[in-house]
Amino acid sequence: MTRLTGRALRLTVYIGEDDIWHHRPLYTEIVHRAHAAGLAGASVFRGIEGFGASSRIHTSRLLSLSEDLPVAVVVVDTEERVRAFLPQLDELVTEGLVTLDDCEVIRYVGRTIDPDDTDKTDAKGKKSL
């Protein structure tokens, strides 16, 4: 598990939900590449409304024709690891917005599984009663 505390860099990639990379969602490709690169973690957030450089508003409202909702992929890790990952984004993100922000990690703790409790968890890793 990656240890992460103190100063870090937050990478945010703003793209469209319908953006594709080789027949799969672009946000999925970014997350899988971040994982393969050993980054501390990545999360994808789906927006309900927004617009970008094209000035076209995308919304989830019922009467809207737009289904290409905004998506943000957020990665937090050390500056060195995030900057080493940027060349992959150059290849993947042909339209959208990529930002970097300094941040401070206060707590970064993953789930731990007790080897004796493995039979008491379901397929999703949740404890059964």
pLDDT band at 110 (very low <50, low <70, confident <90, very high): confident
**The pLDDT value given to residue 36:** 97
Task: For residues 91 and 37, give the distance between their C-alpha atoms in angstroms, rounded to a whole number.
Answer: 15
Task: For residues 44 and 32, give the distance between their C-alpha atoms in angstroms, rounded to a whole number.
Answer: 12
**The pLDDT value given to residue 114:** 66
- Tens digits of residue pLDDT in 21-80: 999 999 999 999 999 999 999 999 999 888 877 777 777 765 555 578 899 999 999 999
Average pLDDT, integer, range 83-112 = 93
**The pLDDT value given to residue 54:** 76
pLDDT band at 8 (very low <50, low <70, confident <90, very high): very high
Provide the angle, in degrees to the nearest 10, between the axes of the packed helices 26-36 and 79-92. Answer: 140
